[in-house]
Amino acid sequence: MTMPPSVAVLRIGHRLVRDDRTTTHAVLVSRAMGSEVIYMTDVDNGIKKTLDKVNKRWGGEKEFRLEIIDNWKKILKTWKEDGGKVVHLTMYGAPINQKIKEIKELSQRILVIIGAEKVPKEVYFLADYNIAIGSQPHSEIAALAIFLDRIFEGNQFNKSFLDEKMKIIPSDKGKNVIKRNPDYSSSNNNNNNNNSRFKNNQN
């Protein structure tokens, strides 16, 4: 059984959709679904503050980061030089159903590129794969989510974050959120089944 790949996300084109909720969605989807980092151009620090709040409450400061960058081309080229694969999600691309198996088998490190708006033509040529999540226009947020779900085969949902202050316990009908016991030191942090870490706070 192969190791799951290491995944980063690169989102291009924010200057045209500045301060849009979709920017936040792109960051939170990357965080929640197994990516280690999201690179973004043209965003201001507001988005960093949003992520900090989420990481503080739900954990993730050690596992996921946002990097605001100047030069997406440099990120892409460095990724390839280091032996990683670059997958660009576009409705014009090859169908994911046909390509996902090959991508999983051949790629240990994947940089996923999505565009807030039209991406520069060069992306199509520099990418190792141009992949369509369906050949219809919809949402780069949806495309990213489905790609990550397919790459990680749903296992990304089993991942826990360290240092979370609050943790959701899945519930059929209600909202079951437990808070971390403030007396518990994070240096004793072995695994998530240690219930003394948390005070139960059922709704």
Residues in the site for a copy of itself, rule: CB under 8 A?
17, 20-22, 25, 28-29, 31-33, 54, 58, 91-97, 124-125, 129-130, 132-139, 141-146, 149-150, 154, 156-158, 161, 167-177
DSSP 179: E
60 vs 84, which CB is nearer to a copy of itself? Answer: 60
Minimum distance between the CB of residue 60 and a copy of itself, rounded to whole angstroms? 8
Rounded least distance, CB 136 to a copy of itself, Å: 4
Alpha-carbon gap, residue 131 to 99, rounded angstroms: 8
Long-range CB pairs of 43-51, under 8 A, 24+ apart, other chains included:
43/14, 43/18, 43/68, 44/18, 44/19, 46/19, 47/23, 50/24, 51/27
Quick one: 174 exposed, middle or buried, by C-beta within 10 A (0-12, 13-18, 19+)?
exposed
105/183 with CB nearer a copy of itself: 105
CA 119, CA 139: separation in Å to the nearest integer? 14
Query: Smallest gap, in angstroms, from Cβ of residue 155 to a copy of itself?
Result: 9
Comparison of 171 and 189: residue with beta carbon closer to a copy of itself: 171
Write down the least CB distance from residue 163 to a copy of itself, Å: 14
